[in-house]
Amino acid sequence: MMTFLDSFSFLDDVRRMDTRQLFYQALNFAMIVSSALMIWKGLMVHSGSESPIVVVLSGSMEPAFYRGDLLFLTNYKEEPVRVGDIVVFKVEGRDIPIVHRVLKVHERENGTVKFLTKGDNNSVDDRGLYAPGQLWLQKKDIVGRAKGFVPYVGIVTILMNDYPKFKYTVLALLGVFVLLHRE
């Protein structure tokens, strides 16, 4: 029992903190938040994509990507769209972007391109998923193209979205730890 109580001994540290120390801890916290933001914005500039890292939310690309896998995207405008590319695209009326593979490409002389996608694990193409009456995707629908892959890492985000209480607990614990912990 004693050992368990001992684990909360860091709370004593708080009592001993003076103003200068508190101020330092708060600044430290702000530092972490702003560097995370800087990394994210830096990746956005580097990759040209509005969301350079996405978590796979559906099983439509199994067995390549499972729920919770992480994809790194780029969205360079000059790079042509070709079959076999894994694109992340937005469809009007759907909040969540879709990750699927390009199946057909028709590109005109002036560079306008229309393409059709399909999930590896789906038996039919994506026309049923597009907005009513929409037959093709265009370049403006692309959020990014998958260039890198790391498995499992995104499962934390999925858990957080599925169980909001878990999210707030984790965030609260992290915040308390960063604010109170003293090196």
Partner 1 sequence: MNTFLSRANTIFAFTLSVVAALTFGCFLSTAFEDHRAPVSIKTAKAMVKRVSDFSVSREKNDLGFITFDLKADMNPLFNWNVKQLFIYLTAQYETDNNKVNQVVLWDKIIQRGEKAVIDLNSMNTKYYFFDDGNGLRSNRNVTLSLSWNVIPNAGTLPKVDGDGTYTFEFPTEYSSSRS
183 binds partner 1 (CB under 8 A): no
Active-site residue identified among 47, 60, 69, 141: 60
- Contact stretch for partner 1 (CB under 8 A) within 25-33, 42-50, 82-90, 92-100: 82-90
Residue 158 in tokens: 């999925």
**Smallest distance from partner 1 to CB 113, Å:** 8
DSSP character at residue 2: H
Q: What x/- string results for residues 121 through 140 when contact with partner 1 is judged by CB under 8 A?
A: ------x-------x-----
Give the Cα separation of 121 and 98 in Å (integer): 13
Query: Does residue 9 touch partner 1 according to CB under 8 A?
Result: yes
Q: Which of 149, 155, 148 is nearest to 47 (CA)?
A: 148
What contacts 24+ positions apart, CB below 8 Å, involve 32-40?
32/178
SS percent in the chain: helix, strand, coil, step 5: 40, 20, 40
Stretch that binds partner 1, among 20-28, 39-47, 142-150, 164-172 (CB under 8 A): 142-150
Binding site for partner 1 (CB under 8 A): 3-4, 6-7, 9-10, 63-65, 80, 82-86, 101, 103-109, 113-114, 120, 127, 135, 146-151
